Amino acid sequence: MHNTTEIRNVVFMGHSGSGKTSLAETMLFEAGAITRKGSVEEGNTVSDFSSLEKERRNSIFSTLMHAVWRGNKINMIDTPGYDDFVGEVICSLKVADTGLLVVNTAHGVEVGTEILWEYTRTFHTPTVIVANQCDHDNSNFQATLDQAVERFGNSVIAFQYPVKEGVGFNAIIDALRMVMYVFPDGGGKPIKQEIPQNEMTKAMELHNAIVEAAAENDEGLMERFFENGTLTEEELTKGLRLAMVHQQITPVFCVSATRNMGTGRLMGFINDICPSPADVKPAPLENGKTLVCNSSDPNTTIFIYKTMTEPQVGMVSYFKVYSGTVNSGDDLVNADHQHHERISQLYVSEGKNRTAVNHLKAGDLGVTVKLKDSHTNDTLSVKGSGNVVKKIDFPESKIRTAVRPMGKNDMEKLMKALHQIQEEDPTIKIEQNAALKQVLLHGQGQLHLDITRYRIEKVNGIEMEFEKPRIMYSETITRSAEEAYRHKKQTGGAGQFAEVHMRIEPYYEGMPDPPGLTVRNREIEELDWGGKLAFYWCIVGGSIDSKYSSAIKKGILHQMEAGPLTGSHSQNIRVSIYDGKMHSVDSNDMAFMLASSSAFKNAFKQAGPQLLEPIYELEVLCSDQVMGDIMSDLQTRRAIITGMGAEGHYQKITAKVPQAEMYQYSSTLRSLSQGKAKFTRRVVEFAPVPPEIQARLIQEHIEELAEA
């Protein structure tokens, strides 16, 4: 069991392909946690262990691993690089105390790098930039460093730089230690050499910058620095750790993950300088207070940052001990719904494998299984502690699709499986949309949805297909119209009789009373599907008894819900009932409902009916080079560009685009930009559908009705 100060929690983040999984593998190997180093190509790394990841040669889930390095336990969480799986990254960042932002020096700072950098600021995570692939043909460390400084600011300081990058890469100058590491051909343990004369000035300059940055945070250190012109190793450690915790320094290290050069030194730095869970700022709680990471706190508190269902095992929960010590067999309480949960088994994780342990102290990351009713984002704590760790805010979904099981009777099974995935992955949302008569799956990108389908098919054995989601059109009118309708039926004994005269108008807030009518009663109905019905009772002389008014309103509401034009809900209409007839024997609620329903339908069609469609406000972030293509594509989607301009080092395009034109936009954008653009969108308004499209939709509705 490791004490809090002997724990380091690091998360590997970076654009897809930067080398996170390879780096984690090499670090495990260096630390002796594994005896054979796997590779992404061969599909045998510790991190990418699921069949899905092996097949795709890419990380999809975050993976918890650990290595023991000089007595300290380094918990490592590898994360996927694609933005589609950002949920996995955010969960991991929440519990990590240091972020390793891996950058491929052959590509420099990429869109993904910048987005992840922003997350490290949001979560206040001390960050190290790992310049990887220094052995790559096109490696350019200096350009990568310059971009990082330019984009992330002056906290970025090179602690190392490669002597010879590219194919012949075999040496690193370390400006913190002021030595040169020279690696044997196969990588691994380097030989320490003196820094060559011609590199001395540059190395010394960096060294001084590091020492000064370390001294800056502490008055005592600053004084000593001015007195002695430098700091002792102990002072330097203290200063650098403090500077990292305050995000005032972002060290840059250089490595080659696959050739195992520089990874040992990186682990040494994590070990010596990077903060333990006790060194970082206390964790924020939901009640606005904070929680200090202290293993002797009697109020043991753990936070579940990830859950995953495994065949044979069931639910597996990954957690961080925020305070106290958790023991196997402990009874804790879920702070959200107060249910008891027994931590019957405790494990540490090595990717696919787990090792049982008896205790885990504050700050550590662990695993438990078979919790009854606790999910990602839940806190389990000693009864009465009142601790609820601040929950993770997940990003809103970016794309949606309708889903349907292939088997007719599989709907219930499919819903169950989808809800289970939603519990594991809070960036997935399942919506049973009654108005559209579809089940919608919302996610972060096409890949995210595809992987979800793959999991349902493979794990749950339910075949499902994606369908284009229907669009939630809405209907309204553009001018006023009047209609009188008589409902009359004479079948044998009792007949049915009702006659209703109404005027309908487009409704808006604060409109004047209908001219020429005497309003007796006004009702403003908020419609379940959005918008309003204003229902005015203007009967004079008792031509219809007011006891029928609610039946008449009901008839109108039925018709508005059904949608006279295309079967889409209608909204924002004022109906004034001003005349009619009733019969002392044959009139009843049903007759008036039917009469008003028909009157409304007929009036609606004469009142310049207009179909409205949901409009997204779209924001795209992209590089200069791909902006033209993205704009031309938007033009084909009936988009109205509302803004364009530089945002940081990228271009931001904002536009209003009909939802109907945005199906599979995530795939299009990915291929247009080679994965170098990001977007967000949300429905902001409803706008009139162009006449030719309205005509087509009405025709389609008529055909649909005929088929039914």
Ligand X SMILES: Nc1nc2c(ncn2[C@@H]2O[C@H](COP(=O)(O)OP(=O)(O)O)[C@@H](O)[C@H]2O)c(=O)[nH]1
Q: Which residues bind ligand X (CB under 6 A)?
A: 14, 16-22, 39-41, 59, 81, 132-133, 135-136, 256-258
CB of 39 to ligand X, least distance (A): 6
From the list Mg ion, ligand X, none, partner contacted by residue 294 (C-beta under 5 to 8 A by kind): none
CB of 79 to ligand X, least distance (A): 8
For the chain, how are helix, strand and coil distributed in percent, rounded to 5? 30, 30, 40
Which of the ranges 54-62, 512-520, 586-594, 630-638 carries the binding residues for Mg ion, by CB under 5 A?
A: 54-62
What are phi and psi for residue 520, nearest 5 degrees? -95, -30
CB of 102 to ligand X, least distance (A): 6
From the list ligand X, Mg ion, none, partner contacted by residue 257 (C-beta under 5 to 8 A by kind): ligand X
By the 8 A CB rule, do 88 and 61 touch?
yes
Helix axes 665-673, 624-635, angle to 10 degrees: 140
| 14 vs 363, beta carbon nearer ligand X | 14
From the list Mg ion, ligand X, none, partner contacted by residue 18 (C-beta under 5 to 8 A by kind): ligand X
CB of 383 to ligand X, least distance (A): 41
By the 8 A CB rule, do 618 and 669 touch?
no
For residue 285, the 8-state DSSP code is: B
Q: Which amino acid is at 326?
A: V
CB of 439 to ligand X, least distance (A): 32
| 92 vs 566, beta carbon nearer ligand X | 92
From the list ligand X, Mg ion, none, partner contacted by residue 133 (C-beta under 5 to 8 A by kind): ligand X
CB of 395 to Mg ion, least distance (A): 20
Structure tokens at 136: 């790559």
| 21 vs 496, beta carbon nearer Mg ion | 21
Q: Which H or E element spans position 94?
A: helix 86-95
Q: Which amino acid is at 670?
A: R
From the list ligand X, Mg ion, none, partner contacted by residue 16 (C-beta under 5 to 8 A by kind): ligand X
| 17 vs 405, beta carbon nearer ligand X | 17
Q: How far is CA 227 from the centre of its chain?
A: 50
| 63 vs 217, beta carbon nearer ligand X | 63
Which residues, 6+ apart, have CB-to-CB distance to 409 below 8 Å? none
Residue nearest ligand X, Cβ-based: 19
- Per-residue binding letters, 16-35, with Mg ion (x by CB under 5 A): ----xx--------------
Structure tokens at 407: 């088997």
| Nearest-angstrom CA–CA distance, 11 and 47 | 12
| 92 vs 300, beta carbon nearer Mg ion | 92
| 14 vs 675, beta carbon nearer ligand X | 14
| Nearest-angstrom CA–CA distance, 444 and 85 | 7
Closest by CA position to 575, among listed 643, 495, 483: 483
CB of 670 to ligand X, least distance (A): 16
| 16 vs 433, beta carbon nearer ligand X | 16
CB of 292 to Mg ion, least distance (A): 34
- Per-residue binding letters, 410-429, with Mg ion (x by CB under 5 A): --------------------
What are phi and psi for residue 199, nearest 5 degrees? -105, -5
Which residues, 6+ apart, have CB-to-CB distance to 48 below 8 Å? 21, 40, 54, 57, 58, 59, 63
From the list Mg ion, ligand X, none, partner contacted by residue 444 (C-beta under 5 to 8 A by kind): none
CB of 668 to ligand X, least distance (A): 23
Quick one: which of 9, 18, 50, 59 contacts Mg ion (CB under 5 A)? 59
| Nearest-angstrom CA–CA distance, 67 and 425 | 27
From the list Mg ion, ligand X, none, partner contacted by residue 207 (C-beta under 5 to 8 A by kind): none
CB of 452 to ligand X, least distance (A): 20
| 132 vs 294, beta carbon nearer ligand X | 132
| Nearest-angstrom CA–CA distance, 72 and 68 | 6
Closest by CA position to 397, among listed 88, 661, 16, 84: 84
From the list ligand X, Mg ion, none, partner contacted by residue 300 (C-beta under 5 to 8 A by kind): none
Closest by CA position to 15, among listed 130, 121, 94: 130
From the list ligand X, Mg ion, none, partner contacted by residue 136 (C-beta under 5 to 8 A by kind): ligand X
Which residues, 6+ apart, have CB-to-CB distance to 562 below 8 Å? none
By the 8 A CB rule, do 363 and 321 touch?
yes
CB of 110 to Mg ion, least distance (A): 15
Beta-bridge mates of residue 475: 570, 611
Q: What angle do CA 398, 404, 405 make, to 5 degrees?
A: 130
| 54 vs 359, beta carbon nearer ligand X | 54
| 21 vs 276, beta carbon nearer Mg ion | 21
Distances (CA, A) of 138 to 8, 134, 141: 33, 9, 10
Count of residues interacting with Mg ion (CB under 5 A): 3
| 167 vs 494, beta carbon nearer ligand X | 167
CB of 83 to ligand X, least distance (A): 13
Closest by CA position to 187, among listed 350, 22, 74, 20: 22
Sole residue written with tokens 């994965």 = 675
Interface residues with Mg ion (CB under 5 A) are 20-21, 59
